[in-house]
Structure 1
Amino acid sequence: MTPRRPGPRMLIALAAAGVLVLGVGAWALGAVLPPDSAPVRAALTARPAPAASPSAIPISTPTAPAFDKRANSIDDPSSIWVVVNKSRPLNPQTYVPADLVQPPVANIHDQPVRHVVSDALAAMFAAAKSGAGLSLTLQSGYRSYDMQVNDYNGDVAAHGRAYADSDTARPGHSEHQTGLAVDISAASGRCSLDACFGQTPEGQWLAANAWRFGFLLRYPQGKEAVTGFTYEPWHFRYVGIPLSTELHDTGVTTLEEFFGVPGGETYSG
């Protein structure tokens, strides 16, 4: 049986839709319609739309979520983000941490720290030893309100109130009372509690690496007007790895600037 050729109406519909039927093609169109007719020209010139090249397809790159500055309290004295300075005393001022422990590191004055600080401190001291051959010692950890009274009054008696206020926190305003602050020295004792500690291998290692363990160099050089205290390259504050990493990555060096809270060199009361 001879196949039936498609009629004009069918060919017009196929041509208008841009469909070229194999086996019928241009010959069939030409056999039924004039070669220069619109349907024939449409069928002969119709081309499928080019596929989009991979490079032309937009790719959405996921962005990291913004750091949540409200994840922890900066007012609660038990929070690892609490901001304590001359404008922001502890509340209550006689606060005592509930989870103080003795850290498993060389500890000159046998002062405890918060449990979370103990683990981070041990890891940091071990890394300094294994990675750089440096031996570190804990000079000071938690100091109670009463201990801070003695330290502050002793500094006032020895150097006057103006000097003491730049060097030693008043009772109720000390980070050491939170159990989150530590003073660190070289095991050799070189430049202990002195600005020259920042130039020692131990001080330089801590400045470059403490953030990896959740610590912040709390009183950096040149930020006295912000923190209220002179440069202390031995004083590190535990804030946790998420915050210490964010501070490191953004280049912000003080808690006051990061959280937008007051600090300054003058006590609030």
Structure 2
Amino acid sequence: MFPARGHRAAAVGAAVVLLAVAACASERDVPEGPTVSIPPAPSPTASPTPIPEPSPEPTFDREARSIDDPASIWVVVNKLRPLDPIDFTPPDLVTAPVSATNPATMRAEVADALVALFDAARAEEGIELQSQSAYRSYATQSTIYANGVAANGVEYTDRFSARPGHSEHQTGLAVDIGVPGGECSFQACFGELRAGVWLAENAHRFGFLLRYPEGAQPIVGFDYEPWHFRYIGVELATEMHEQGIATLEEFFGLPPAPDYVD
């Protein structure tokens, strides 16, 4: 009986050894899987900052006001463009509180601007200015024109004096400016005085335009008048000054008006 027990023990031992060897072989024979390299997650890409487009430069609105309505401060009056109605009278005439040789009657907005203009000339350069002629009614302009024709004839008078219904003075927007004492009053030499030079360079700041500049007779119809200033408002006066456009006809694309159409 003992020998049989010994054989069984030997058999069990042999089986254990075989299992151990098999296990080791299994561990050695199983190939290792390939090493997988996992790339790092990419950093989030920053969105480019949009470059703002420059805003377009605002353009001047040439249609903001009427150039036909006699009550508009932009109305264009010349030898081809009479007032309508031809005997128009401004609704808001006042007397400007400035030095004047004749009543400084004009529209209220113009009066305020003229006071500011005269004050600036005095404060900046010590220049005293004077209103010499402002609003004229249709009847007054008729008398002035008729007297001119009687003295000098139609052709000569038309160079210097507007026919009734064609005068800027009738709009209440025009002022003839001089200096106390009358030096060079209503003469081309006024443009060479300190007052004339200052006005030509600064009138736009207050809404005034030198309406009949030198050399513009073929366009505006009148000889050079360095004393005649027309109120058109600061916005338009500044725009024309910055663009270097001297006449309303050119700015608004109107035909030249050198002569009347009889």
TM range (shorter): 0.7 to 0.9
Query: Which of 27, 32, 35 is equivalent to 1:33?
Result: 35
Show CA shifts across 1:92-129 (max 9, x none). 11111111110010110114001110000000000000
Q: How does 1:137-156 map to 2 (within 5 A)?
A: 137-156=130-149
Change (3 A) 1:49 1:155: same
One-letter amino acid of the structure 2 residue matched with residue 140 of structure 1: S
Partner of 2:247: 254
Partner of 1:78: 71
Q: Give the number of aligned pairs.
A: 230
Matched, 1:201 2:194: yes
Query: Which of 243, 257, 260 is equivalent to 1:264?
Result: 257
One-letter amino acid of the structure 2 residue matched with residue 132 of structure 1: E
RMSD over equivalenced CA pairs, Å: 1.9
Taking the aligned partners of 1:69 and 1:90, their CA distance within structure 2 comes to 20
One-letter amino acid of the structure 2 residue matched with residue 144 of structure 1: S
Query: Which of 92, 96, 102 is equivalent to 2:89?
Result: 96
* TM-score relative to the length of structure 2: 0.83
Structure 2 runs not aligned, ≥5 long: 1-32
Taking the aligned partners of 2:60 and 2:178, their CA distance within structure 1 comes to 32
What secondary structure is seen at the aligned counterpart in 1 of 2:102? coil
What secondary structure is seen at the aligned counterpart in 2 of 1:163? helix
Could you tell me whether the CA contact under 8 Å between 1:111 and 1:143 is conserved in 2?
no
Query: Which of 160, 181, 184 is equivalent to 1:191?
Result: 184
| Aligned-residue offset at 1:50 | 6.2
Taking the aligned partners of 1:78 and 1:134, their CA distance within structure 2 comes to 32
One-letter amino acid of the structure 1 residue matched with residue 136 of structure 2: R
What secondary structure is seen at the aligned counterpart in 1 of 2:183? coil
Partner of 2:213: 220
Q: How does 1:41-80 map to 2 (within 5 A)?
A: 43=40, 46=42, 49=45, 52=48, 57-80=50-73
| Aligned-residue offset at 1:32 | 7.4
Taking the aligned partners of 1:139 and 1:264, their CA distance within structure 2 comes to 26
Larger radius of gyration: 2
What secondary structure is seen at the aligned counterpart in 2 of 1:171? coil
Q: How does 1:5-44 map to 2 (within 5 A)?
A: 33-34=35-36, 40=39, 43=40
Query: Which of 147, 163, 174 is equivalent to 2:156?
Result: 163
What secondary structure is seen at the aligned counterpart in 2 of 1:263? coil
| Aligned-residue offset at 1:220 | 0.7
Query: Which of 204, 228, 235 is equivalent to 1:235?
Result: 228
Could you tell me whether the CA contact under 8 Å between 1:166 and 1:265 is conserved in 2?
no
Runs of 4+ in 1 over 6 A off after TM superposition: none
Change (3 A) 1:219 1:32: farther
* TM-score relative to the length of structure 1: 0.80
Could you tell me whether the CA contact under 8 Å between 1:86 and 1:263 is conserved in 2?
no
What secondary structure is seen at the aligned counterpart in 2 of 1:122? helix
Could you tell me whether the CA contact under 8 Å between 1:85 and 1:263 is conserved in 2?
no
Taking the aligned partners of 2:34 and 2:125, their CA distance within structure 1 comes to 90
Could you tell me whether the CA contact under 8 Å between 1:185 and 1:234 is conserved in 2?
yes
Taking the aligned partners of 1:258 and 1:102, their CA distance within structure 2 comes to 30
| Aligned-residue offset at 1:190 | 1.4
| Aligned-residue offset at 1:235 | 0.3
One-letter amino acid of the structure 1 residue matched with residue 111 of structure 2: S
Taking the aligned partners of 1:244 and 1:236, their CA distance within structure 2 comes to 11
